[in-house]
Chains A and B, each alone.
Chain A
Amino acid sequence: EAGVTQFPSHSVIEKGQTVTLRCDPISGHDNLYWYRRVMGKEIKFLLHFVKESKQDESGMPNNRFLAERTGGTYSTLKVQPAELEDSGVYFCASSPYRGLPYEQYFGPGTRLTVT
């Protein structure tokens, strides 16, 4: 079974530009989460989808961040316009709806560098 995949693995953009990150969850997982780790800090929650619906957006830092999950499959996270403080590693995770819904499986992350 394929794990969570993320694209790109690394992105370098200039301040003010737009970047879109993509996450493909484990097949059949209804729950999809975005987290990020900025330099020297712990991993922090951004938001949670159940299928195509946003269940919890409490961790989104501001309105420059837009997450979508059209069709309840893959998800995108767009940062527009990017700021220097957005640099970090963005992780996606997924979990099944039933069984052990609280166990989350992480992807390899996208390292975002804003210059």
Chain B
Amino acid sequence: QKEVEQNSGPLSVPEGAIASLNCTYSDRVSQSFFWYRQYSGKSPELIMSIYSNGDKEDGRFTAQLNKASQYVSLLIRDSQPSDSATYLCAVKWKDTGRRALTFGSGTRLQVQP
């Protein structure tokens, strides 16, 4: 079983809708969580980080963390065709001295005009 799991998709939503991307992680002490957006052939771009339970909002993006249920999600409001990309979930575990990120395989989002 992978430590960070994402549905590969594609997740297809109409323009203007809310896109909901989910990520679950293994039963291991976690510290922080990140969402990256990656366009084909480009670098992963950090869009959100979240460290504590609850919601964190930044513009059209909201990250939600529930450590008891071991999931983190990303909501994109008013989805635009330019949001079409692969969204990567990454976790930093609470291992002393280690800063390595563990990535999921990514969810491909398609926003239909």
Interface of B is mostly: strand
- Whether the pair A45, B43 counts as a contact (CB closer than 8 A) is no
Q: A104 and B103 in contact (CB under 8 A), knowing A43-B88, A56-B97, A56-B98?
A: no
B28 contact set on A, CB distance < 8 A: none
For residue B34, CB closer than 8 A to chain A, the reply is yes
Instruction: Tell me, in angstroms, the Cα distance from A105 to B98 when the chains sit together.
Output: 17
Within 8 A of A (CB), among B5-52: 31-32, 34, 36, 42-46, 49
Residues on B with C-beta less than 8 A from A101 are 99
Does chain B have a CB within 8 A of A106?
Answer: yes
> What does the 1/0 interface line of A76-106 toward B look like (CB < 8 Å)?
0000000000000001000100001111111
Q: Which of A35, A41, A56, A102 contacts B92 (CB 8 A)?
A: A102
Total interface residues on B, CB under 8 Å, equals 25
Bound together, the chains give a CA A100 to CA B34 distance in angstroms of 12
- By a beta-carbon cutoff of 8 Å, the part of chain A in contact with chain B is 3-4, 31, 33, 35, 41-45, 48, 55-56, 58-59, 91, 95, 100-109
Q: Give me 14 other A-B pairs in contact (C-beta within 8 A), A33-B100, A106-B46, A108-B43 excluded.
A: A3-B43, A4-B43, A42-B2, A42-B104, A42-B106, A43-B44, A43-B90, A45-B102, A56-B98, A102-B34, A102-B49, A103-B46, A105-B46, A106-B44
